[in-house]
Amino acid sequence: MTNSDPVLLKVRDLHFSRGSRKIFDGVDIDIERGKVTAIMGPSGTGKTTLLRLIGGQLHPARGSIEIDGQRVNKLGHSALYTLRKRMGMLFQNGALLTDMNVFDNVAFPLREHTDLTEDMIRDLVLMKLHAVGLRGARDLMPSELSGGMARRVALARAIALDPMIMLYDEPFTGQDPISMGVLVRLIRELNDALGLTSIIVSHDIAEASSIADHIYLLSNGKVVAHGSADDLAESESEWAQQFLKGLPDGPVPFHYQAEDYLSDLLNGVNGR
């Protein structure tokens, strides 16, 4: 609709719950065009759920998610699929199709959605693989790749259709420092070179804040704080301080909610 609107993705008053557990309780997020936005929070705050809501795989109980003027949760099947062609998503462990080699994995979205000749597909795939530095690995099977390489292949696959928005689900977890550095650089470079808008969901503070233009902190289904990395460092929110500095105790208690320690011990087996 309005391509000049600097805000590409608007989340308004988002409510979502799994069973009786509330995951989002009135969340508002603005993602600006061309920027890298990090969404951070402790495990279990539903960061991955947020990406699935954005991708239209889940439906919010209340509120709206608007991408480029289209309300994701109101789209029909085919409109949603058309929108998804313009989204790329990098899953936590890559989610490569295990029955195809690297080349075919990257070629997969091209073959599914375009009528390009094999020659052109080959060129495009090699370009994408070159961008992530894995042009030489095209004949390997996903089982032969290391975790970091698999994520880079998945990244090449996600950008195969030149999306407008990239979603990264925990891209840094379980990576050695070198592949972590590679991924950090790739995300930033691809964002700038291809004119993408990137959303990173992560709890790796150092890496995420090193490339993010804007950071949202989520906790208990709400946005606790947001702003640039510097803004947040000076944030007065106790919770933000605890999370950013990684303190073991604070507003997020060390102990899971339980009855009094002493009486619990004295109660014995009968008490439970």
Partner 1 sequence: MLQAIQHLGRSGLDFFQRTGRAHILFSQILIGIYSLLPRLGLLVQQVYSVGVLSLLIIVVSGLFVGMVLGLQGYNTLVDFGAEESLGVVVALSLVRELGPVVTALLFAGRAGSALTAEIGLMKATEQLSAMEMMAVDPVRRVLSPRFLAGFISMPLLAAIFSAVGVLGGYFVGVGLLGVDEGAYWSQMQASVDYHEDIMNGVIKSIAFGVVVTWIAVFEGYDAVPTSEGVSRATTRTVVHSSLAVLGLDFILTALMFGES
Residues that bind partner 1 (CB under 8 A): 55, 57, 81-82, 84-85, 87-89, 91-93, 95-98, 108-109, 112-113, 154, 157-158, 161, 167
User: Which of these, 158, 106, 161, lies nearest to 137 by C-alpha position?
Assistant: 106
Q: Which is nearer to partner 1, 43 or 57 (CB)?
A: 57
Rounded to a whole number of angstroms, the minimum distance from the CB of residue 113 to partner 1 is: 7
Cβ pair 212, 220 in contact under 8 A = no
Phi (first) and psi of residue 43, to 5 degrees: -60, 145
Q: Which is nearer to partner 1, 84 or 203 (CB)?
A: 84
Rounded to a whole number of angstroms, the minimum distance from the CB of residue 102 to partner 1 is: 15
The residues with which 225 forms a beta bridge, in sequence order, are 217
Residue 166 to residue 199: CA distance in whole angstroms: 6
Q: Which is nearer to partner 1, 112 or 260 (CB)?
A: 112
- Give the helix/strand (H/E) hosting 208: helix 205-211
| DSSP secondary structure, 150-203, as one string | HHHHHHHHHTTT--SEEEEESTTTT--HHHHHHHHHHHHHHHHHHT-EEEEEES
Rounded to a whole number of angstroms, the minimum distance from the CB of residue 229 to partner 1 is: 28
Rounded to a whole number of angstroms, the minimum distance from the CB of residue 130 to partner 1 is: 21
Rounded to a whole number of angstroms, the minimum distance from the CB of residue 46 to partner 1 is: 16
Q: Which is nearer to partner 1, 79 or 233 (CB)?
A: 79
Cβ pair 35, 187 in contact under 8 A = no
Residue 175 to residue 204: CA distance in whole angstroms: 11
Q: Which is nearer to partner 1, 47 or 157 (CB)?
A: 157
Rounded to a whole number of angstroms, the minimum distance from the CB of residue 117 to partner 1 is: 16
Q: Which is nearer to partner 1, 92 or 242 (CB)?
A: 92
